[in-house]
Every structure is written in C-alpha cells, then in structure tokens.
Structure 1
C-alpha cells in the first residue's frame, strides 16, 4: 500500500529542538526536515483514523497499540520511507540501500513488554534510555530565559535510533 502526501500548501516539518535563538540546553537548536519521517506518516494515518472512529487513547502505550492496530487494519505491515514519487516513477535515495523496515510486530512486542513491566522481552530493538536534567523557566518577557527557583526536573527518554 502506498500513502501519498500531496500538500495543498507549504509543509513545515520539524525535527527535535527549539527554534528560539535564546535556547539553551542539550538540544539548543531546532531542525527543519525536508521530508516527513515514517513516524510522521504513521501518525497522520492514525490521526485520520482517530477522527473517523471518534476514539482517542488514554496512555502512550494504548496509543501505540491502537496505531499498530489501525495500520494493520489498513493492510500496512511495515513502514518505509519517505520516497519521492514523480508521475509513475519512485526515486529511492542511494543512502537508503539496506535500510531496515520498521515492522508492526516490533511495535506490538514493545507495547506488550512495557505493559508487563519488562522491556527485556523486546529483543532485537536497540533501546537506549537517555536522562536529561533541566529546570523550569519563567516567561520570556525580556527576551531572556530565566530559571524558576526550586524547579529542577529529570526527564527520562527512551530512544530508538534510526533503522531500528
């Protein structure tokens, strides 16, 4: 199954990070993307299905299972791309040769493992836990970031490197 995105106007696709020139921290700059990533495409399909069904998940893991189910119902067993298509020709970039395909079975395994409280079952997935330390900030009325006193936090992020 092919999913084609035909923009009606300019697309603004963002990577992680901030676009604010006064940004500080581990990711102090934002990044624009030329093409939507597979996760963006899956999210767009799932958003359309949520709207059609009138459902919304209550937890991220319920969301993961629901998205996997929606994609599976649509006949999508894996996501690969994005690829550039012009008329009837599809162009695959040279760097993409041998790129792994994200299988929905991997998403289901991950969701089930998290529900049972053990990520070790999700074999074959390159899972990395990254910890960020940060502070809450006051408003930027003066064009500067200022730290709110007494608001230190730690954020744990589970990262899946590209191609896993």
Structure 2
C-alpha cells in the first residue's frame, strides 16, 4: 500500500471506531494495532458473547499498481483471527460465531454506512426479525453460499473494481 493509502485507512478506521463506540451505547474496547495487525473494536452482546468489527483495505494502490482503487472492508465477526475473548473477563462466553458480515465500500462511503452498520448489529444482537433500514448508498449482496447474505458491496465499490479489471 502507498503511504497515502495507509494514512487514509488509519484515519478512517480511527474516526469510524470513535463514532461506533458512541453509537453502540455499550462498552466498546478498541484494541491497539500490533505489528502486522490492524486494530479492532469489540463489545459483549446480550448473550455475553464477544463481537468485533474491523476495517481494513481489501484493495489498495501500491508501488506496482498506483491506479488500483482503495476499497475498504467493514467486517463484523470476521477477518480478525487474533481476537481474544480473555480480556473481557469471566462473564464473556467466547466469540460470537453465530453470524458474520462483510461490507466492501469506497473510503468516502465508510462513515455514511456507520448508522446502518450499528442498526444491523443491534438488530442481530436482539435476535429479532432482521429489520434493515435502507442503506445510505445502494448495495449488492454477494452470497458466499446459497441463501447467505453475509457479504455486500456498495454499487460504487463494485463498479470501481470492475473498471480496474476491464482496464
């Protein structure tokens, strides 16, 4: 990744986590980034399971391909293998493996999607019928297996990457 892309991802991640912490209305722990790993925001749900959200670049310009678009992924309960439930104490019943979600976006869309992501999480944690509000930008679900809706891309992120492959 180029230094500019690294800086942009870091700034967006920090701002997203700060706003996410305020919007969740539950204690949220923002881990420090370790060498080679990115920071995550984690919380305990009503079932005493640890959940986490992480933001990382899934495509980025680098020294070889400067024209590659910067695409970010907001991953919920997915993509952070080094997550440890031990720091949450004895009340934590382990990681929530009952659901996962990934959303791929352009950098300028990440903060727009924050309320939508929080609503999605709160709907899932209450185990209520999934009542999703309209996203701030159009999205396409990309099922990882039949009848699964655990992966979505914004239209603009999908168009950007498609254009890159066709060029």
- Normalization by structure 1: what TM-score? 0.31
- Normalization by structure 2: what TM-score? 0.31
